[in-house]
Chains A and B, each alone.
Chain A
Amino acid sequence: MPVPRFDFAQVPVTFAAYFNEQLRGWDTLFPAEQAYFERLGKYLEKTDAKLFAALAALEPRMGVTLSNWPRGSFTLQQVDFLNRNPLYPEWRRVITEIFDRISPELDAEVAARGQPRLVIVIGPSDLPVGPDRMWTRLIGKGRRVSLTVPDELTQYLPSLLASSKLESLSDLCAASRGPYSSWAIETASNLLPYSAQATQLSYDKLAPYRQRLMTEVQKIAEAGEVRGPRQLGEKLKTLSPRGAEFSKDPVMSEFVRATLLAGNGTLLVNNTFVEWASVQALRRAKPVLLISSFGIRNKMKPFSSLLIFNDQETATAIPTQADMLGSYVDLEIFYQYIWQEAGKYAEYRNNTAYLFLAEGMDEMQLIAPPDFPLSAHKLTLADLYRASREWLRLG
């Protein structure tokens, strides 16, 4: 899709700058994002100038001028200008109010074309708690469902995610709606066999790229060439995945780079990567099917954990230890954040089923519209597969 052009003469510069920045990265936007900005751009072109009256009045009070905010520019200095401006809280409030006016109208268009969606979140088998404590932040949002699970743990994912004919939910969804419609994000590589045609992200598989980024971050920090995270981020924009580190798809390449560098601990903590990548996928790509699989993170090691960009495995002879309890605490809040993030977007409201599971566990937390096709009695994983497939209308 070519970069669209809009006439934003009536749009105040601090708002237009954000929009133009998005257009600059047009080729690295997902189709869902491009569609959103197309709708937003057309809406802004025809909207009444009164929508921006408060912002237009505020900008001069903030000291915004043509010289520090020339039309079409958006720089780190301008970001700093906003952040440090005494009227920044008011600016944020006004921007929020503008979006509060815009969003319902844009959302209505999306909702009119709504389709069933599915989010599956899988916890690791080693968590030291039972089903009664697995999803405490989601109690009251849905119901716990009893499951009959295979005796062999290795059969859990195959039974849940694919049919006996090896037709996987992820691949069926990707085949019918495109690769960005179906995502499989995980700490390890357990989902890979069931998502060959989908968009795959594995923290473990990204290890070479992560290591290269950490080395570069450390080099840049030690050289003292950058003043802070924003400048560091600018410098690291050039460090895209290369070769076998990730696909040749520029959209995904940029997604992975941004996820690892703008997501705080995503470079360092496996479950943070899965959570932030899932949240970003929901926000940006709006997949029809998202499968997120968490793992166990390691304990931080004495001393070496202070050097966050050093390889923790080689910095000390102390053996790596899994942190089961810590991982449980981390994941409980991440389940909530993923569920919550999806609910922010019209694409997911009222038509999304959420399956929260843990490998080997004989219960799950289900949050779904009333018409999600599950019977009340105890279910097998194959029942769950069939219900999910029917829900997504995957033939």
Chain B
Amino acid sequence: MLTRDFLKLVGLSIAQRILPPSLLSLWAQAAEAQAKGRKVILVTFGGGVRNSETFSPEGLRNIPRLAALRPEGFFYKTCQNQGVLSHFNSTASIVTGNWQRVDDFGFEAPASATIFEHFRKGLKAGPLDAWVVATNKSFASMGSSSQRDLGLPFGANVVLPKQLLLDAVKDIVKQPRREDLSDRDAVHRRLETILQEGYEGVGWTIFKVGRQMDKHVQVALTRALGEFINGPEAPTSGDELTYFITREVMREFAPRLLLVNFWDMDVAHWGSYSLYLQAITRTDRLTGMLWDEIQANAKYKDRTTMLILPELGRDGDINTANGFLNHRSGDPSCRNTWLLALGAGVTKGMTDRPLRHVDVAATAAAMLDVKADGLLGQPAKEIFF
């Protein structure tokens, strides 16, 4: 894969290569010193989901895990996306705390500083301390902004697991006498080959020196892929891979700030309501599994706040072009989503007061005790103890 393709896919790539080892060492010490500090995990229902299929009375059956967790946390019935209703701009608004109006398809970095940059610069956090794991393959540049004084050197590592899987499947499909896609071993072999030989294609941004991939990272990723491919159910979902990669990142690197973007539910564009519902339920299950991992992982238990929200809604059934298939109408079904806060520092309750997507970064900053200037959003004051 050509470098320019890689850069297009993964965005961040050079931070570690251009920084001197002494600075990396300092970062490591700072990370160690703050190892007992608060951690924040942002989970987005990417692709967009409507209230009617989630926290409405008739939607609760699609999200049994979140419905059960809701009493344990603080629930905002309304969290508004007042910005551009594209995937990239929606999530970029969440992570920057300012409404973003950059390229809809990820060809530009967010214009405002991300929470990752505020966090890493403000707390002198190391490169392993902020991660983005995204199913949406256009999120390569989600980890840092185009701000000159921040940007790449302070950004998050961005991992695009689905792109890795896509590349493996594509390669197998293209072989003249190809191994069949039903052969899990074949896909696994191909994935490992990509990791060992062509890491540039996987959306992985952790490098030690030059073009050598961090061995630790490679082992962790390979293990996650093996579990994914050989899991008890035939894996069909990019989000399942995103979950496994996220879990490995948590177990191996225990970052303090992590964005997990699930995206299977964007299958709604295909016009299959049943597949859309299945994806919602899968995301609910995977989000529940992430919460279970937090509880089971000593590095996270009792010190982690998880903020869960859809990046946008989808068009309502009435008076729009084609209901759940799309998400650009700007109607209330598109803009009004919800937010569930769980874990450390979060009180229990529920409110009608609308939150905004731009308030999420400010809330995360407050949780992490990071000073973040220039945010339009305000911390979600109701959730704090």
- Contacting A272 at CB < 8 Å: which of B8, B173, B271? B271
Cβ–Cβ contact B323 & A307, under 8 A: no
Shortest Cβ distance from A83 into B: residue: B84
Q: Could you say which of B84, B173, B272 contacts A88, with CB atoms under 8 Å apart?
A: B84
Question: Is A359 close to B, CB under 8 A?
Answer: no
Is B187 a contact partner of A333 (Cβ separation < 8 A)?
no
Question: Which residues of chain B come closer than 8 Å to A318, judged between CB atoms?
Answer: 181-182
Contact A326 B318 (CB under 8 A): no
Residue of B nearest to A329 (CB): B274
Contact B322 A333 (CB under 8 A): no
Tell me if A272 and B169 are in contact (CB < 8 A): no
Kindly identify which residue among B8, B271, B274, B330 contacts A275, using a CB–CB cutoff of 8 Å.
Answer: B271
- CB-CB under 8 A for A84 and B181, given A329-B274, A337-B323: no
Contact of A306 with B162 at beta-carbon distance under 8 Å, contacts A84-B84, A315-B173, A329-B277 already known: yes
A268 located at the interface, meaning its Cβ lies under 8 Å from any Cβ of chain B in the complex: yes
Set B182, B187, B235, B275: member contacting A300, Cβ < 8 A: B275
Bound CA–CA A271/B170 (angstroms): 27
CA distance A304 to B179 in the complex (A): 13
The 8 A CB mask of B244-281 against A (1 = contact, 0 = none) is 00000000000000000000000001111111011000
CB distance from B9 to the nearest CB of A (A): 11
User: Does A349 belong to the interface (CB within 8 Å)?
Assistant: no
- Whether B166 is near chain A, meaning CB under 8 Å from some CB there, is yes
Q: Is the CB of B271 within 8 A of A310?
A: no
Is A269 at the interface (CB under 8 A from chain B)? yes
Interface with A: B31-39, B99-107, B126-134, B291-299, which one? B99-107
In the complex, the answer to whether A304 meets B322 with C-beta atoms within 8 Å is no
Q: Are A317 and B182 in contact, CB atoms less than 8 angstroms apart?
A: yes
Cβ–Cβ contact A265 & B169, under 8 A: no
**Known pairs A227-B105, A304-B173, A337-B323; A330 contacts B272 (CB<8 A):** yes
Q: How far is the CB of A311 from chain B (nearest CB, A)?
A: 9
Bound: A231/B165 CA distance, A? 26
B100: min CB distance to chain A, Å? 9
Question: Number of contact residues on A: which range applies?
Answer: 35 or more
Q: Contact at A306–B165, with CB atoms within 8 Å?
A: yes
Check B84–A224 contact: CB distance below 8 A: no
| Chain A residues positioned under 8 Å from B181 (CB to CB) | 301-304, 315-316, 318
Min CB gap B234→A, angstroms: 5
- Which residue on chain A has the smallest CB distance to residue B89? A84
A-side contacts of B274, CB under 8 Å: 323, 325-330
* CB under 8 Å from chain A, chain B span 305-350: 317-319, 322-326, 328, 330
A235 in the interface, Cβ–Cβ < 8 Å? no
A340 within 8 A of B: yes
B174 to chain A: closest residue by CB: A310
Residues of chain A lying within 8 A (CB to CB) of residue B102: 84
Interfacial residues of chain B within 52-107, with CB under 8 A of chain A in the complex: 82, 84, 86, 89, 99, 101-105, 107
Give chain A residues whose Cβ lies under 8 Å from the Cβ of B182. 302-303, 316-318
**Bound-complex Cα distance A86 to B98 (A):** 12
Q: Mark A77-104, 1 if CB is under 8 A from B, else 0.
A: 0001001111011001000000000000
Q: What chain A residues lie within 8 Å of B328 (beta carbons)?
A: 83
A297 close to B (CB within 8 Å): yes
Is B110 positioned at the interface, with any CB of A under 8 Å from its CB?
no
Q: What is the minimal beta-carbon distance from A140 to any residue of chain B, in angstroms?
A: 15
B5 at the interface (CB under 8 A from A): yes
Inter-chain contact B271/A224, CB cutoff 8 Å: no
Beta-carbon contact of B275 and A304 below 8 Å: no
- B236 near A303: Cβ-Cβ < 8 Å: yes
Asked if B318 contacts A340 (CB within 8 A), the reply is yes
The 8 A CB mask of B133-171 against A (1 = contact, 0 = none) is 000000000000000000000000000001001100110
Q: Is the CB of A307 within 8 A of B166?
A: yes
Q: Main secondary structure on chain B at its contact with chain A? A: loop
Nearest B-chain residue to A326, judged by Cβ: B274
CB-CB under 8 A for A264 and B269, given A306-B169, A307-B170: yes
- Neighbour of A302 across the interface among B86, B99, B236, CB < 8 A: B236
Question: Within 8 Å of chain A (Cβ to Cβ): is B180?
Answer: yes
- Are B330 and A92 in contact, CB atoms less than 8 angstroms apart? yes
With a CB–CB cut-off of 8 A, which chain B residues contact A85? Answer: 101
Bound together, the chains give a CA A10 to CA B227 distance in angstroms of 65
| Complex contact A276–B322 (CB within 8 A) | yes
Tell me if B379 is interfacial: C-beta within 8 Å of chain A. Answer: no
Interface residues of B in 161-209 (CB under 8 A from A): 162, 165-166, 169-170, 173, 180-182, 187
Given contact pairs A306-B169, A340-B317, A269 touches B272 in the complex (Cβ within 8 A): yes
Is B273's CB under 8 angstroms from A330's CB?
A: yes
For window 322-374 of A, CB contacts with B under 8 Å fall at: 323, 325-330, 332-334, 336-337, 340, 344
Q: Given the complex, which residues of A lie within 8 Å of B82, measured CB to CB?
A: 89
CB–CB B273/A329 < 8 A: yes
Give the residues in chain B near A310, CB-CB below 8 Å: 173
Check B238 for interface membership: any CB of A closer than 8 A. yes
The minimal Cβ–Cβ distance linking A358 to chain B, given in whole angstroms, is 17
Of residues 9 through 24 on chain B, the ones whose CB sits less than 8 Å from some CB of chain A are: none
B77–chain A nearest beta-carbon distance, Å? 21
CB nearest neighbor in B for A85? B101
| Residues 211-252 of B at the A interface (beta carbon under 8 Å) | 234-236, 238
Residues in A neighbouring B323, C-beta threshold 8 A? 333, 337
Q: Decide if B236 touches A83 in the complex (CB within 8 Å).
A: no
User: Are B270 and A268 neighbours in the complex by a CB distance under 8 Å?
Assistant: yes
Q: Which residues of A contact B105 (CB under 8 A)?
A: 227-229
A-B contact pairs, 25 of them (CB 8 A): A83-B104, A84-B104, A86-B101, A88-B84, A89-B82, A264-B270, A264-B322, A264-B326, A265-B270, A272-B270, A272-B272, A275-B322, A300-B236, A300-B275, A303-B181, A303-B187, A304-B169, A310-B173, A317-B180, A325-B274, A326-B272, A327-B274, A328-B274, A333-B323, A337-B323
A interface list, Cβ under 8 A from B = 80, 83-86, 88-89, 92, 224, 227-229, 263-266, 268-269, 271-272, 275-276, 279, 297, 300-308, 310, 315-318, 323, 325-330, 332-334, 336-337, 340, 344
18 new A-B pairs (CB below 8 Å) besides A265-B271, A272-B325, A303-B165? Answer: A83-B86, A83-B328, A86-B99, A86-B101, A92-B330, A263-B271, A264-B271, A272-B270, A275-B271, A276-B271, A300-B275, A306-B165, A317-B180, A317-B182, A326-B272, A326-B274, A329-B273, A329-B274
Q: Which 8 A-B pairs have the closest CB atoms?
A: A272-B271, A265-B270, A329-B274, A326-B274, A228-B105, A265-B271, A316-B181, A84-B101
